[in-house]
Each structure stands twice: as structure tokens, then as C-alpha cells.
Amino acid sequence: MPVPKLSHSRDFTGENFYIGLDVHKKSWSVTVRTSNLEVGHFSQAPNPKALYSYLTKKFPSGNYYSAYEAGFSGTSTHTALCKLGIENIVVHAGDIPNTDKEKKNKTDVHDSRSIAKYLEKGLLKPIHVLSEQQQELRAYFRLRETQVADQTRASHRLKSFLNFIGLHLPMDMQMNGKFTNRQLLWIEGQILSTAAGQACLQQNIANFKEQRIKVTKVTKSLRNFVIEKFPDAYNNLMTVPGIGSITAIALIAEIGDFDRFETPCEYCSYLGMIPWNHSSGDSSRTFGVQPRCNGHLRPLLVEAAWIAIRKDAGLLLYYKKHAAKNNKHAIIKVARKLALIAKGVVTNNKPYDPDYLESKTEIRRQRKAKS
């Protein structure tokens, strides 16, 4: 009796497989879907090569698409998956649609299944992934921010100790912000009643000086690197009123490619400089600036806006136009316009033209007069 041949080769050429990943430090939860069916679910070690080996062994010659939430691991996993041939996207956790049941039963299994399901339906919008070089520059800038915070903390500790022991600076040395070298010399020369107090004072001063040296060192290094790698962008940004060296470096480090924003609204939304609304039926409420934004740039741009209205007549008039209603809202509007100007000088590779705002206002007046 002949034996039938039941074995056959597996070939999934042209088939699309959608992989949802719930990424953690010690393990990944993986869900694989195709043709509206879940064809695989498992946990594995956090290893992109292991995932690729599984897919090519079980579903050879298929097209692989994956997604995971942005998190602690940054985009290193994304880079590794793309190099292996898996078309991966990184999504914001708040952009993954969830039912009420999914919210109340949140597990790694449910998360990976949701990602795979919505990825297959095309409902996930990826975030922009910076290049490795740009990410490292951004990390260096954020390191400076951390060290500035450490310096501020050390300064506050020294001030707190001086107030606690009742040691006050002379009238001609009153503080106006940060400690100066003259003030530190005077403080170092003070003799306290006990050796413990003297040691505490000297240690607080040493901590502050150490943090100040670190900030100075990283700031100089970061500025030199940006000037060397992005001379045109840096020099053009420095011509914009209100934008100084740190703000220019921040824009270059945090944004990278200004052309990646398709519309001005998208760009301003990224900076958190447009209001957000909540409406239902006849009820509509407008709140302040968006909480979801790049929190590293918005404070710098608002600070730059206060300086800009003192230096540029066009921006001052723009501020006064809106300040009658609410001066806080008005300065946000100036900061938004300043951000758009910064984008324009970088993308057009031209320095700031002080007459630009005046000529633009005149063109609008002429258009209104004609209409």
C-alpha cells in the first residue's frame, strides 16, 4: 500500500506578519498576527536576533512588521530590528487605542496583543526616530540640563545652610542670582563656632564649586561641538532676537531636522505652544498650552520671548497687541512666533531679517484694504 507524502515546504512569500512587542528589560511579550488571525504568542529574552530567528524559521519568506511603545530602551531595539529586515515603528504609549476592558486588564499579554491588532489595522502612528548621531547629541544636551539642576541644588543647599546658621552676606555683596567668586571667598573666610560646622560649610562650598566646574566644562564642549558640526544653523539662530547660545544649541540638539514637520501647527504642537480643546455637544472648553510636548524647549523659548520683546520692535508690537487680554497668553504667542522664526532661518539658511515682521504686517494690511 503506497504511503502518501504529507510533508510540504512552507513558503509565505507575499504574506504580511504583524508583531506586537511589549518590551521590558528582562523579557519581551510577543504577539504575531496575519490575515486577522493570531498565529503566535510567546515570551522571549530581549533579543532582536532571537525574534528574527523565530520568524524566519516558522514563517519563512514573509514580510515582517513590528511595533513597540517608546520607553526605557529608547530606539536601540528599533535600530536592531530594522537592520535585521523587520520593518519596525516606535509608537507613543498614549496613542495606542484601548477599550475600557483593556485598560482595566492591563498585562504584558494584553499590551502586545493590542499593539499587534492595531498595527495590522493600520491604526498606529509612529513617532519620529532621530538618527543615532542626533540622539547622542540630544543626550549630551540633556546631560548638561541635569548638571545645571545639580548646580542649582548645591547652590540652594549652601544658601539654606547660611540662613540656618545666621550667616548673612554684607550689604555690598547681596546675592542677585548665583554665587560670585567674591561672595564665595568671603564665605570661605568665615569661622564658625565648631569644627563640625566649619567642615559642613566648606563641604557645601566645595560641592557648589564642583558642580559649577562640571556645568562650565560640558557647556563649552557642547557649544564647540555644535559650532563645528552645525555652523550655519547655529550662526543663523544666533541672529534671532532673544535666542542665545544655550537656546540655539537646544533647538539644534532636540529637533535636528526642522523639515520633518509637515505644517507649522505640527511644529508648534511638538513645542507645546498651541491650546488644547475639550468639546461635547454644545459645550466647548479651551485650555492652556498642551501638556504633551517637548518639555526641554518650551521653557527656553518662553524665556527667550521675554528677552526678544525688549530687543525687537516688531515682536514688542505683537506682544502689546495681545497683552491687553492676558499677558501670559501673549508671551506664549510671542514664543510661538519666535519658534517659527527660528525654524525659518534654519530651513532657509538665512540670518534673521528685522524688517520681516513689519513687511509681513504691511502686506496683510494691503490685502485687507483691497478686500
- Taking the chain (371 residues) in runs of 10, the rounded mean pLDDT of each run is 52 92 94 94 95 94 95 90 95 86 83 94 93 94 96 95 91 82 92 94 96 96 96 96 96 94 92 79 71 90 95 90 84 94 94 73 62 62
The C-alpha cell that represents 104 in the structure block: 482595566
Q: What is the pLDDT of residue 101?
A: 80
**Left, alpha or beta for 122 (phi > 0: left; psi -120 to 50: alpha)?**
left
How far apart, in whole angstroms, are the C-alpha atoms of residue 135 and residue 128? Answer: 12
Dihedral, CA atoms, 329, 332, 337, 342, nearest 10 degrees? 180
How far apart, in whole angstroms, are the C-alpha atoms of residue 65 and residue 120? Answer: 9
Residue 27: partners with Cβ closer than 8 Å, 6 or more residues away: 43, 44, 45, 46
Q: What is the DSSP letter of 171?
A: G
The sign of the dihedral angle between the CA atoms of 259, 262, 265, 269 is negative
| Cβ–Cβ under 8 Å, residues 315 and 360 | no
Q: Which of 115, 93, 94 is nearest to 38 (CA)?
A: 115
| Cβ–Cβ under 8 Å, residues 78 and 129 | yes
Q: What is the pLDDT of residue 102?
A: 76
How far apart, in whole angstroms, are the C-alpha atoms of residue 232 and residue 322? Answer: 33
**Left, alpha or beta for 318 (phi > 0: left; psi -120 to 50: alpha)?**
alpha
Going across the sheet that includes 87-91, the strands are 37-44, 28-34, 16-23, 63-69, 87-91
The C-alpha cell that represents 215 in the structure block: 556645568
Residue 313: partners with Cβ closer than 8 Å, 6 or more residues away: 358
Residue 154: partners with Cβ closer than 8 Å, 6 or more residues away: 204, 207, 208, 210, 211
Dihedral, CA atoms, 52, 57, 59, 63, nearest 10 degrees? 40
φ, ψ dihedrals at 41, nearest 5°? -150, 130
What is the distance, to the nearest Å, from the Cα of residue 347 to the centroid of all Cα atoms in its chain?
20
Q: What share of the chain is helix, strand, coil (3-state, %, to 5)?
A: 55, 15, 30
Total residue count of the chain as it appears in this document:
371
Q: Strand pairing partners for 351?
A: none
Using DSSP, state whether 37 is helix, strand or coil. Answer: strand
Q: At what angle do helices 195-229 and 132-165 cross, to 10 degrees?
A: 150
| Cβ–Cβ under 8 Å, residues 90 and 70 | yes
How far apart, in whole angstroms, are the C-alpha atoms of residue 155 and residue 252? Answer: 29
Q: Which helix (H) or strand (E) holds 64?
A: strand 63-69
Domains of the chain: 16-121 (3.30.420.40), 132-229 (no CATH), 234-278+287-353 (no CATH)
Residue labelled with grid coordinates 536601540: 76
| Cβ–Cβ under 8 Å, residues 91 and 126 | yes
The C-alpha cell that represents 58 in the structure block: 516558522
